[in-house]
Chains A and B, each alone.
Chain A
Amino acid sequence: MLILLGKALFCERLKCKESLIWPAFLLIPFIPIFMGAGNYLNNLSILQSEWYSYWTQATLFYTTFFFAPLIGVYCAFLWRYENFNRCRNLLFTHPVPYPVIYLSKLLLVCLLSLMTQAWFALLFFLSGKLIGLEGLPPTDICIWILRGTLGAMVIASLQFFIASETASFATPIALGLIGGITGLLAANSSLGIFWPYAQMLLGMNSNKSEDILGQKDILFLLLTVFYSIGIYLVAVHREGKNG
């Protein structure tokens, strides 16, 4: 099974070669960094906690408006080839079980999400230095990035499920944007931790300089694992039912 998964993953990776996914991956995270840095520099009189203050500005735009649509682009792209010329039917006639095909694509999306997070973290650090912040970012921020990555996996699973169910390229991206906004609203309520789109926001401690999750780290971890596996199982079950 592992060999099959490795081969499927290799094939999926080939499909992404020299595609437009890479310009999106490289360029889109620049926008929240520019916006965050601009906002930070314009409000220096209020934002006085250096790296923490800059974090509040950079992550607000990134987690709310950019991340989910960007992941939506990755997911829609991975299903795009299968939607052309009934490639989906052809794909399913291959001697590879559907759960493996789905998992290979999903793993690639998760890998891309991980790389996006790492790229954003690097940009955050470099831009912080450029705007004159001293020293290194505090450990808290590193933990928030790692925690946000777990939340990002939930969004990636959900967006991937939406993309697999929708034969259109742009719809999952639009739904990702709507999801991001509902995440912002949910994150401000007491039950926000249960809303998949709010988990990355909460994990990254977006727009906050004090830890919003507090003692709920374990619950957060359990929920992210539960949602990621749950969405995968629902997706595989649905496809099995639809044939």
Chain B
Amino acid sequence: MSIKYASLKAILLEWKKLHHRRLPLLFFLALMAIILWTVWCSEDLNRNTTNDPFVSLYINLLLMNTILIPIILAAAASRMCDIEQLGNTYPWICTIQEPKHIYFGKAAIGTIYLAVFCLLQVLFITMFMYKKFGIIPQHKLNLYANLFLSSLCIFLFQLNLSLGSSNQLTPVFISIGGTFTGLFAWFLNQWPLRYLIPWGYYAALCNAGFSYDRETRYTTCYWNSYPVFWLFILIIVIIFLYQQGCRSFLRSIRKTM
């Protein structure tokens, strides 16, 4: 069996397992919350209060992802794993499918969901900016890279945790703690916290900033150069998490066989 065929089969099998698990609904609700938040934030935005409304919404979008997405991803990862864990079906699934393909299937499905979810966010913000302010936003690719890669890193981390622990409480607690450490990282920019944890990369890869003048109540927004170095670091971490996760999954399967 060729590698390509096996990979495709793993994805299809995982897709079938997730049938009726309502994962798309979870992502859809998260998207709706983000859209509502963005619309609410944009109500006070105009050319008299800021020089670039897009920067303001760009930062808000990343902030919302920091708060919402890690727990959504923890839920998604937990849901992908609990079907086998509840039924303790790994020993017999592995007699018909290679364990590394099972891991690949789960990671790939999560990646597909995230790719679409992040694309929808970028499409929404682009259309919204054009409709409301008549602006075609810049840095869309940067925004997509930031959203997708940061989320993917968190997803793989959560997937490894969920696969590694039979008690799903632990990954969820770690996710809640991580989410709020990520939120702290936005406000503590003088500390390197954002570069050290996966939840901090929404802030670490944000290439925009603003300064607020209290007297005039005017926000001056600006763009910084894109932190390409940290983008590469994040990609390396993603590759590491994938390989490490696959290895430890194989190890745990061998123990149960």
Interface residues of A (CB under 8 A from B): 20, 23-24, 28, 31, 35, 38-39, 65, 69, 73, 77, 80, 83-85, 168-171, 173-175, 177-178, 181-182, 185, 188
Most chain A CB atoms below 10 A, which of B170, B171, B172 = B172
B75 and A174 within 8 A (CB): yes
A170 and B29 within 8 A (CB): no
A182 and B36 within 8 A (CB): yes
Interface residues of B (CB under 8 A from A): 22, 26, 29-30, 33, 36-37, 40, 64, 67-68, 71-72, 74-75, 77-79, 82, 86, 167-173, 175-177, 180, 183-184, 187
Residues of A within 8 A of B64 (CB): 181
B169 CB contact (under 8 Å) in A169, A171, A182: A169
Residues of A within 8 A of B22 (CB): 171
A170 and B184 within 8 A (CB): no
List the 6 shortest-distance A-B pairs measured between CB atoms, nearest first. A170-B75, A174-B75, A170-B78, A169-B168, A20-B169, A178-B33
What DSSP secondary structure best describes chain A's contact surface? helix
Q: Given A177-B71, A181-B37, check contact A169 B172 (CB 8 Å).
A: yes
B74 CB contact (under 8 Å) in A80, A170, A175, A185: A170
Give complex CA distance A181, B179 in Å: 14
Give complex CA distance A117, B53 in Å: 38
Residues of A within 8 A of B75 (CB): 168, 170-171, 173-174
Give complex CA distance A3, B252 in Å: 46
Give complex CA distance A174, B40 in Å: 21
A185 and B172 within 8 A (CB): no
The minimal Cβ–Cβ distance linking B228 to chain A, given in whole angstroms, is 31
Residues of B within 8 A of A24 (CB): 173
Give complex CA distance A77, B173 in Å: 12
Residues of B within 8 A of A23 (CB): 173
